[in-house]
Amino acid sequence: MAAASVGEVKGSIKQEDCSFLPIVHDIIKCMDKDSQDVHQELNKLKAKLQETREMILAMPGIDLSPEQQQLQLQNLRDQVRIKNELLQKYKSLCMFDIPKT
């Protein structure tokens, strides 16, 4: 599997996308009122759980072991370090200054 950034995951995952608290709160409120909407709220919770499972399975690197993920992370950090060093080297060469005559 090619290395993908977190931003490449389908859509962007926000913290509130994975929050079950509002749905659980609604379920408790329905139970307190002896409302018939409990089943509807439970179905919302089931749908939210399934959606979250799908988001987790779509995350890049989920199929890798923790050791493989750490190795990949270290390789990416090394690449960033090398590229930063090259960038600093090229900046210090001053090749982009055109002398005025």
Which residues of the chain are modeled with pLDDT < 70? 1-17, 94-101
Question: pLDDT tens across 19-29, in order?
Answer: 888 888 888 88
Instruction: Parse the chain into domains and list their residue ranges.
Output: 15-59, 63-95
pLDDT number for residue 34: 73
pLDDT number for residue 71: 95
pLDDT number for residue 74: 97
Amino acid type, 65: S
For the beta carbon of residue 87, count every other beta carbon within 10 angstroms. Answer: 10
With H, G, I as helix, E, B as strand and everything else as coil, classify residue 65.
coil
pLDDT number for residue 73: 94
Provide the whole-model pTM: 0.52
Is 3 in contact with 72 (CB distance < 8 Å)?
yes
pLDDT number for residue 98: 61
Task: Please tell me the distance from the alpha carbon of residue 23 to that of residue 20, in angstroms, as a whole number.
Answer: 6
pLDDT number for residue 47: 92
Is 13 in contact with 54 (CB distance < 8 Å)?
no
